[in-house]
């Protein structure tokens, strides 16, 4: 025979239990998340290398919080990892960020946004690709394939020291230093027209190795080569990208200026070497008066130079 009193007592207890669970559902969820998920995932710690710039911009900022809570923080985490020079890194989605893995998937496949990150980091920490893996629990693992390998970096740094000793010497004026390096790169580099026009790849012209060792460069090579020297002299800079072009911007005397070595080294029909200063440390207003097609940039990304 059913004990009615016990059944009623159990029902009341069960209702109270469910009510308590409902009231404290967030606290209980947090506890379970921390105990059974976070504690079993080892979130990486940063290991900054010597090329870590440590700069914040309006588009991306450095972060030390690797439990991602929104899209901007997700972008900031990618930027922080790349800027530090890390190769492998693990972070987690916050349990309340329901769209996290969807946003991770979208970001990992958005080459435009990822390439923007490269604009703000030292060339030696830039990447050729980023591999991203994630699971249903929100664990995200990324692997960074760097643009420059160790052998290239060693050779480039040695070459830079030779150029600095022979060309720059004891010069300390930053604008003059920029001019000296600008002139050196242009006078020792030809634009790689075969690669840009006919897809014939003979040189590493897309990065600094081409201009510094092979005498040929695409806009990426000119820009990286200049950026390396700007970083060496602690001159704030980053790279601006448009749909088909990239160039440097430099911070001098409390103002941002454009610096485009590619367009100051124009290709001409005679094949004669030309050195120009049309795109040497000019403002955005001056740039837009000169050329509006190849130098159209995303103002939401490169906000500092507007």
pLDDT digits (tens, 9 = 90+) for 82-122: 999 999 999 999 988 999 999 999 999 999 999 999 999 99
Of 80, 113, 146, the last residue of a domain is: 146
Domain that residue 293 falls in: 150-305
What local confidence, expressed as pLDDT, does residue 6 receive? 56
Q: Are residues 17 and 50 in the same domain?
A: no
Q: Are residues 228 and 165 in the same domain?
A: yes
Q: Are residues 127 and 162 in the same domain?
A: no
Q: Are residues 234 and 282 in the same domain?
A: yes
Q: Which residues contact 217 (CB under 8 A, 6 or more apart)?
A: 185, 189, 190, 191, 192, 205, 210, 211, 225, 262
Q: Are residues 110 and 196 in the same domain?
A: no
Higher per-residue pLDDT: 236 or 29: 236
Strand, helix or coil for residue 191:
strand
Structural domains counted in the chain: 3
In this structure, how many other beta carbons lie within 10 angstroms of the beta carbon of residue 193?
13
Angle between helices 150-163 and 219-232 (to 10 degrees): 70
Of 95, 119, 146, the last residue of a domain is: 146
Q: Are residues 125 and 15 in the same domain?
A: no
Angle between helices 111-119 and 100-108 (to 10 degrees): 80
Q: Indicate the range of 16-25, 124-133, 220-229 predicted with least confidence.
A: 16-25
Q: Are residues 202 and 134 in the same domain?
A: no
Of 93, 117, 146, the last residue of a domain is: 146
């Amino acid at each position: 025979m059913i004990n009615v009193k016990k059944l009623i007592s159990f029902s009341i207890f069960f209702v109270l239990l469910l009510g308590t669970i409902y009231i404290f559902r967030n606290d209980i969820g947090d506890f379970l998340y921390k105990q059974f998920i976070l504690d079993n995932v080892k979130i990486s710690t940063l290991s900054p290398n010597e090329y870590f710039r440590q700069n914040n911009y309006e588009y991306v900022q450095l972060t030390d919080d690797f439990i991602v809570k929104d899209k901007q923080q997700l972008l900031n985490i990618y930027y922080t990892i790349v800027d530090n020079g890390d190769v492998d890194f693990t972070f987690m989605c916050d349990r309340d960020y329901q769209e996290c893995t969807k946003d991770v998937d979208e970001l990992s496949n958005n080459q435009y946004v990822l390439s923007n990150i490269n604009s703000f980091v030292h060339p030696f920490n830039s990447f050729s690709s980023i591999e991203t893996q994630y699971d249903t629990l929100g664990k995200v693992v990324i692997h960074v394939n760097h643009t420059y390998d160790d052998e290239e970096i060693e050779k480039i740094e040695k070459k830079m020291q030779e150029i600095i000793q022979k060309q720059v010497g004891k010069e300390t004026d930053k604008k003059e230093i920029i001019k000296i390096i600008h002139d050196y790169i242009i006078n020792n580099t030809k634009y790689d027209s075969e690669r840009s026009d006919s897809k014939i790849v003979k040189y590493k012209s897309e990065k600094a190795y081409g201009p510094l060792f092979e005498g040929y460069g695409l806009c990426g090579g000119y820009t990286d080569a200049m950026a390396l020297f700007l970083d060496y002299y602690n001159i704030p800079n980053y790279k601006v990208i448009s749909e088909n072009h990239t160039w440097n911007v430099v911070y001098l005397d409390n103002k941002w200026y454009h610096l485009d070595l590619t367009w100051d080294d124009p290709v001409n029909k005679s094949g004669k070497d030309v050195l120009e200063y049309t795109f040497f440390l000019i403002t955005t207003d001056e740039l837009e008066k000169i050329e509006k097609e190849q130098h159209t940039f995303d103002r939401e990304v490169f906000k500092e130079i507007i």
